[in-house]
Amino acid sequence: MVKKKAVRKIKRTKAKVKRAVKKPKIKKAGSRKGASKKAKIKAPKAPEIMLEKIGKVTHYFPHVNAAAVIILKNSLKVGEEIYIKGHTTDFKEKVDSMQLDHVPVQEGKKKQEIGLRVKSRVRIGDSVYKV
């Protein structure tokens, strides 16, 4: 049978070993002493394009790469450029095909839910802006 004092000593030595092990320090790039810091060159900002939110994606059909979009404001015509932005979605494209109840139309008006052909995946809730 092991005495209590011996058990305590073993526990203390294990604790000391744990404290003695240190994690290696990771140096950041350019953190050396005497290293010259390079000046950061800032690129000129592009003028912001005025975007008007005109709709919201309500459904996506992957087999035909089409999105169902409800138009919340104004209208959308074939040939106009749109910008679709969401959590993982971010692209611009020109509207080349639009349908309302499986019938091709040239213009979608406010409160209509239209089908748009899109070039990449969109998600429910993505915003649609007119550029």
Global confidence as pTM: 0.61
Rounded to whole angstroms, the Cα distance separating 46 from 36 reads: 30
Question: Domain 52-130, what fold?
Answer: Elongation Factor Tu (Ef-tu); domain 3 (2.40.30)
Q: Does residue 60 have a pLDDT over 90?
A: yes
Domain locations along the chain? 52-130
CA 87-91-98 angle, to 5 degrees, is: 105
Segment 67-78 shows an average pLDDT of 95
- In the predicted model, what is the mean pLDDT of the chain? 82
pLDDT in tens, 43-55: 555 455 678 899 9
Q: Does residue 96 have a pLDDT over 70?
A: yes
